[in-house]
């Protein structure tokens, strides 16, 4: 029969003021990584700006890829790695552009007053024309 150990194993504890270091280092996000598109309505004013920014970023990435691939010498490992990263960035940009192209500009009311005045004016013109044509018919009889 086993005997009880008079000294049980101790459990290491961290002092209350000391925090444990993170298991893996936290890396900041890559500045070239495009922002993710949120699901839902995007204000129309932001849609055009976001498309323009994506187009400019895509052109920069494509230009850099062209510079790397346009060289006649063999690629170094650093250039191959950069090409791989640029390809991933370009893929993300294209994905976001695809999602933005599906967005419909809804809730844009800046032209609503102009359209309402046009409708009222056209209704008045149509009413005036109908009234004038009725008066002419009555005068002819």
In a domain, 67, yes or no: yes
Q: What is the pTM of this model?
A: 0.43
73 in any annotated domain = yes
Q: Domain for residue 69, yes or no?
A: yes
**Has residue 121 been placed in a domain?**
no
Closest CA to 97 of 63, 56, 130: 56
Looking at the structure of the chain, the number of domains it has is 1
In Å, how far from its chain's centre is CA 103? 10
- The answer to whether residue 76 is domain-embedded is yes
The residue segments making up the domain with residue 56 are 37-105
Q: How far apart are the C-alpha atoms of 35 and 96, rounded to whole Å?
A: 8
Q: Is residue 119 part of a domain?
A: no
Query: Please, is 34 exposed, middle or buried when counting C-beta atoms within 10 Å of its C-beta (0-12, 13-18, 19+)?
Result: buried
Q: Does 57 map to a domain? A: yes
How do residues 88-141 score in pLDDT, each as one tens digit? 999 988 888 888 777 665 666 677 888 899 999 999 999 999 999 988 888 887
Q: How far is CA 32 from CA 36, 87, 88, 135, in A?
A: 12, 11, 10, 71
């Amino acid at each position: 029969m086993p005997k009880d150990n008079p000294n049980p194993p101790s459990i290491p504890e961290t002092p209350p003021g000391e925090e444990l270091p993170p298991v893996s280092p936290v890396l900041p996000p890559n500045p070239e990584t495009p922002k993710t598109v949120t699901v839902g309505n995007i204000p129309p004013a932001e849609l055009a700006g976001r498309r323009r920014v994506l187009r400019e970023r895509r052109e920069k990435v494509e230009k850099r890829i062209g510079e790397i691939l346009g060289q006649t010498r063999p690629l170094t490992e650093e250039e191959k790695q950069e090409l791989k990263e640029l390809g991933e960035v370009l893929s993300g940009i294209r994905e976001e552009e695809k999602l933005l192209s599906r967005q419909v500009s809804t809730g844009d009311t800046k032209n609503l007053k102009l359209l309402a005045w046009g409708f009222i004016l056209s209704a008045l013109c149509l009413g005036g024309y109908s009234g004038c044509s009725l008066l002419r018919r009555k005068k002819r009889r």
